A = this chain, B = another copy of it.
């Protein structure tokens, strides 16, 4: 209940931030762009372009898959969203939010976010300074999500 209210609030904030970002970047605020962004901000899984397309067709039946691709590329270029690292052939996307890490299910490939503040308590090996300048560190945890665990028992 409260969670839902908080989530709604956060979506409203994200959408407002999105509208400002569009203005700042000189991007026109189209129906399609708003739906694509909202889809990414609300569902918070890490959908592929194809998945976003299928979901949005329910709201905008005439939208085309290339618009989804083009829009995602535009958003990423302007730093509104991120392309996520995967071993799959299809790209996955997420809205840019507070630093976080990923849980990846080996079976269904679903990606879930998590926070891990105490990670910063461990310093990176010193040798890394020779490699170059570090900007960010991300953890990917692999395993089997609880939904998939039932499948083979």
Chain A contacts to B: CB under 8 angstroms: 83-87, 89, 91, 103, 105-106, 112, 114-116, 118-119, 121-122, 124-125, 127-128, 130-149
Contact = CB atoms under 8 A, between A and B. Distances in A.
Nearest to A129: B146
Nearest to A86: B85
Contact of A140 (B103, B128, B137, B146): B137
A142 B135 contact: yes
B121 A125 contact: no
21 contacts: A85-B140, A103-B132, A103-B134, A114-B125, A114-B127, A114-B128, A114-B131, A116-B122, A118-B125, A121-B122, A131-B146, A132-B144, A132-B146, A132-B147, A133-B143, A133-B149, A137-B139, A137-B140, A137-B142, A138-B139, A138-B140
